[in-house]
Amino acid sequence: MSFHPNDVQRRARLASAAIFLATVFLAGSFFRTQVLQHSQYALQSEENRLREVPLPAPRGVIYDRNGLILAENLPGYSVSLLAPGVDSLRAALQRLSGTIPLSPEQVNQAVRRFRRAPNRPAVIFPDASFDVVSVLEEHRVEFPGLIIQSSPKRYYPDGPAMAAFVGYTGEINEAELASPTFTGYKAGQQVGKDGLERQYEALLRGREGTRFVEVDARGRVVREAGARQDLRPEAAPPLYTNIDLDLQRFVVEIFGDSLVGGVVAMEPKTGAVLALHSAPTFDPNRFIGGIPADYWRALNEDGRRPLYNKAIKGTYAPASTWKLATAVMAIEQGLVALDDHMPVACAGGYQYGNRRFKCWDKKGHGNVTLAQAIEVSCDVYFYQLGLKIGLSRLVAGGIEMGARERSGIDLPSETRSLFPSAPAVEYYNRRFGARGWSNAVSLNLAIGQGENSQTVVNMARFYSALATDGRAAQPRIVRGEAVHVPMFRLESEQLDGVQKALAGVVQRGTAAASQLRGVMLAGKTGTAQNPHDPNRDHAWFVGFAPADDARIVVAVMLEFGLHGSRAARIASKIIEHYLRVRPEQALSTEGD
Amino acid sequence: MTPVRRRLADPTLVAIALALSLFGIAMVYSAGQTDVPTAVAKVYRQQIVWFVLGLTVAYAISRASVRFLDWVTVPAYASSLVLLFLLLFIGAGAGTAASTKSWLAIGGVRLGQPSELAKIAVVLMLARLLASRKTAPKSLIDLWQPALAVFVPWVLIMRQPDLGTGIVFVGIFFAMLFWAGASWQLLVLVASPVVSLVLAFSTGLWGAWFLVLIALVLWYKPYLLEGVVVVLANVVTGVVAPILWDRLNPYQQKRLLVFLDPSTDPQASGYHVIQSQVAIGSGGWLGKGFTQGSQKRLAFLPAQHTDFIFPVVGEELGFLGVTIALALFLFLLLRSVRIAARSADPFPSLVAFGLVSAWFVHIVVNIGMTLNLLPITGIPLPFFSYGGSFMLMCWLSVGMLGRISSEGRGPADTLVI
């Protein structure tokens, strides 16, 4: 054995150098990890330790024009579970179901929510009853990942009365999460699903807060507070609407549960929507926090289609209410004046080619002026007027008056009204084939039948132009600047004449039963052929009051309403309620 | 020799070891401070008891002369072998290595891990065998006795199975051969089959290694038979082993891997290493504060009182604490190397260096593991990791080194390293 001191010292130096280098290498590695990569690991450590519990922000309260509440937030609770993985979540849910019964659907839903956002607590009961919460609070220690969270619940005090426009809220779904509209949203958040809630989601949502809870490696909550400063949720500012809750309630009351149809009442000058209703209605409160399956089924199986919004979604032939459009475009183009007659007097029908077009009144109206024809809604007069205007101008004029547009009301999913496109000949060729149609379509178009199907809200908009100065006001539920769309250009005497003729409809004509004492009501009835059931026509009335200085426009459409005069009576009651005047009892001829 | 030196064998070494022990006990205490109920909340008390016992043992052994160590070598080695052999039948598992048989237990009470005693016994035995030679080992044939002395306990320990301790034995073996004056070429030749096995995964690397080896054999000119044996061993481990390996079914491969490293399955160990790195990295310069490490408090860090105690240092005391701990280890090792170098006789010198090498392997493998520089093998960190036998072994080493130091020639400080 070589143990000369020099050899030993050489080896000692080698060994010491090796030890020194190894230590320096280790120290260098620690320096890299602890100092150079510190931020990355610090973040990872925070992610390990903290779980974000969302604190939902109260949505903006929605008010009517008089400060009455349309939508508010009630205190509510949501129950969720923090878990490190799907398996442990399932195990925890299994244990939880020993205390609180859980349906397999609820379990699957919770697992789905967990998969979407594993670092957030998986919601089990989005809207837990107080009973559930108190039972769980009692057993809290047994469920270490359990989080019971106050979570404001949306509530519509007049729920069924405002189903047509207020919409509802619900948990954001996969499709919404993926869409650019909802950038920045997180799984599990409540979002507006329809109506104002959807339209004004950005204003109503507020800002979600975050509570940080500390969890251990198995996802059990170790510390509920103080782990890190909470981010307080910020409530959204209130939303002020033009709705007149009193009028809205009245409208809903009139429709009751028996009538089916849609109503829009608005200020003609500003477009401020005072009331909007679709009957039959439903209770949007029951949609909050998940629509109960049986309720959903019942609504879908109802033949009157409560979920189908008849004020903004349903389109119906405008029928005689459209005659005003025909009249206005003829006057505007100088083809006729209000006291002009047509060549053929009405004897209950009009022969065009080899086909006889009937007037609604078989007795005939005789030789009438345009003003009288409006009052009595004489079809024969308008057949001839339509021919005089000519098909392409009928179509172009209709388009000018917004017949192919949405009204632009601030609600999602408004349907675009249907009307031929220009040029008319091309449209009809495309639709029926070059030889499949004749100029007789002009006759139908002139009286609001044929290829014309309007939403109630769009008709209200058109009549706001008749009630004012030829400019229509875009309907608006939420307060804001009035937007006007020019529809036609008439001299003021001409417009006065048209308004007088419309007043005549209620004074002497087809809606004479709907007169009001002390206020001149103007409007036009319509009876639209129902393509599904010839014996159950849709009834229209679109009108405004007072006739010379309109403060309210009302469009009423009754599905299967049989006759426009019925719609007129409803509109009259609405206007009466709004303007606070008494109806004038009068007998009248019932007519179209 | 001063009177102080006589009472307190090598006070510098003892001071460093004391500092490390107190640091370690503080960390074991911290390891028990968690937000999650843990079984290790109170183990620091036991660790203090073991520490006091260790001090006693160290004092006792430092009172015995080196000749006593020489005398006790064979009985200690023999009894270690007997214990290790018995363990294969009566051994018990514990903690994360519950399936192994590394614990000696009687009536359910775990008495200790004989492999810790075996480490010292093997160091003594190797020192005795190597010191008895007139010259440094020059050929493989010269090494058969030391090799056998390590191989037998190594096999017994690998049968437990305890890969970590097995690695320590290999480290001790090579370090002591080096200290005995074996040439580096010889060491390379001995180690070459293992290198081949490691490089076998890459044909290019292995080929390069094989050429280097051939050159080495031609230059070093061992006996022909030895040269052939070494080259053949490399061929077998580098070429045949991978082929055989590939022909195994995956489950058989896994079984072999589990045999080699039973304490952890890959998935779990991956998680452990990541959490260990997160703990260390999140400590930053100064750490999160003593007992305040969130990774540890919230149970993200596994085995925070034993194998993964160093990440607790890193997380709670930061780079500063790590540097202090590493510096203490560095002082301990360098001081011990000095003691080995200063010793007048080969036997105590070899014993001292053997003990140093055991510590060194423990420190590097354990700390390297926490940073994912080395695979997880589950071996404790001297003076830090909780464990009675290990604490005793460490202080026994301190006592022996102290004695060797006090019997060394000349004042310790004359030696320049």
pLDDT digit string, tens, across residues B45-97: 999 999 999 999 999 999 888 899 999 999 999 999 999 998 888 777 665 55
Q: Is residue A440 part of a domain?
A: yes
Size of interface A-B (CB pairs under 8 A): 149
Quick check: is A137 in a domain?
no
Minimal-distance CA residue of chain A relative to B34: A216
Give contacts of B367 with chain A, Cβ < 8 Å: 26
- Tell me: pLDDT of A520 over 60: yes
8 Å CB contact of B281 and A3: no
User: Cβ separation of B417 and A16 shorter than 8 Å?
Assistant: yes
Q: Encoding tokens for residue A171?
A: 């948990």
Q: What pLDDT digit, counting tens, does each position of A435-471 carry?
A: 888 888 899 899 998 899 999 999 999 999 999 988 9
Set of chain A residues whose Cβ sits within 8 Å of the Cβ of B181: 1-3, 7, 11
In a domain, A294, yes or no: no
Q: Which of A187-191, A228-232, B215-219, B355-359 has the lowest mean pLDDT?
A: A228-232
Q: Within 10 Å of residue B55's Cβ, how many Cβ atoms?
A: 18
Please, what is the average pLDDT of chain B? Answer: 85
Q: Which residues of B touch A27 (CB under 8 A)?
A: 322-323, 326
> Measured between CB atoms, does A36 come within 8 Å of chain B?
no
Most confident of A121-130, A194-203, A583-592: A194-203
Mean pLDDT of A536-564: 88
Residue A332 in any domain: the answer is yes
Which H helix or E strand runs over A265?
strand A261-266
pLDDT score of B164 more than 60: yes
Q: Does the pLDDT value for residue B414 go beyond 50? A: no
User: Any idea what the CATH number is for the domain that residue A561 is in?
Assistant: 3.40.710.10
The answer to whether residue A130 neighbours chain B at the CB level (below 8 Å) is: no
Q: Which of A34-48, A100-114, B218-232 is least confident? A: B218-232
The three-class DSSP label of residue A352 is strand
On whether any CB of chain A is under 8 Å from the CB of B374, the answer is no
Contact flag B330-A15 (C-beta cutoff 8 Å)? no
Which chain B residue has its CA at the smallest distance from A214's CA? B298
The more confidently predicted of residues B279 and B197 is B279
Q: Is residue A588's pLDDT more than 50?
A: no
Query: For residue A190, what pLDDT is reported?
Result: 87
Q: What is the pLDDT of residue B2?
A: 45
- Cβ-based contacts of A3 with chain B (< 8 Å): 181, 346, 349
- For residues A60 and A69, give the distance between their C-alpha atoms in angstroms, rounded to a whole number: 11
Residue A577 has pLDDT above 80, yes or no: yes
Contact assessment for residue B314 and residue B295, using Cβ atoms and an 8 Å cutoff = no
Residue B3: the pLDDT is: 44
Give CA B360 to chain center in angstroms: 7
- Tell me which chain B residues have a C-beta less than 8 angstroms from the C-beta of A224: none
Other beta carbons within 10 Å of A283: 17
pLDDT grade for A479, boundaries at 50, 70 and 90: very high
The pLDDT of residue B270 is above 80: no
Is the pLDDT confidence value at B5 over 70?
no
- On whether residue A568 sits in a domain, the answer given is yes
Residue A573 forms part of a structural domain: yes
Chain A residues with beta carbon closer than 8 angstroms to that of B323: 27, 30
A194 three-class SS: coil
Structural domain boundaries enclosing A31: 5-36
Section A30-46 average pLDDT:
92
**Subunit contact B323:A30, Cβ cutoff 8 A:** yes
Cβ contact B337–A31 (<8 Å): no
Helix locations, B261-409, DSSP H: 266-283, 294-297, 310-342, 346-370, 388-406
User: How far is the first Cα of chain B from the last one, in angstroms, to the nearest whole number?
Assistant: 22
Question: pLDDT tens across A166-181, in order?
Answer: 999 988 888 888 888 8
Q: pLDDT digit string (tens) for A198-257?
A: 999 999 998 888 888 888 887 777 777 666 777 888 889 999 999 999 999 999 999 888
Is residue A79 one of the residues assigned to a domain?
Answer: no
What's the predicted TM-score (pTM) here?
A: 0.70
Number of helices (H) and strands (E), helices first, in chain B? 17, 2
Q: What is the band of B198 on the pLDDT scale with cuts at 50, 70, 90?
A: confident
What is the pLDDT at residue B410?
56
Range with the poorest average pLDDT among A5-19, A547-561, B400-414 = B400-414
Strand-strand pairing, A522-528 and A484-486: unpaired
Chain A residue with minimum CA distance to B300: A217
Q: pLDDT averaged over chain A?
A: 88
Pairing of strands A522-528, A69-74: unpaired
Asked, for residue A175, whether it belongs to a domain, the answer is no
Are the Cβ atoms of B330 and A220 closer than 8 angstroms?
no
Q: Do B371 and A33 touch (CB under 8 A)?
A: yes
Domain boundaries, chain B: 3-414
> Using CA atoms, how far apart are residues A570 and A554, in angstroms rounded to an integer?
10
Q: pLDDT tens digit string along B115-130?
A: 889 999 999 999 999 9
- With vertex at residue A275, the alpha carbon angle to CA A270 and CA A277, rounded to the nearest 5 degrees, is 135
**CB distance from B218 to chain A under 8 Å?**
no
Number of domains, chain A: 2
Q: Around Cβ B217, how many Cβ atoms within 10 Å? A: 21
Q: Band of the pLDDT at A584, cuts 50, 70, 90?
A: low
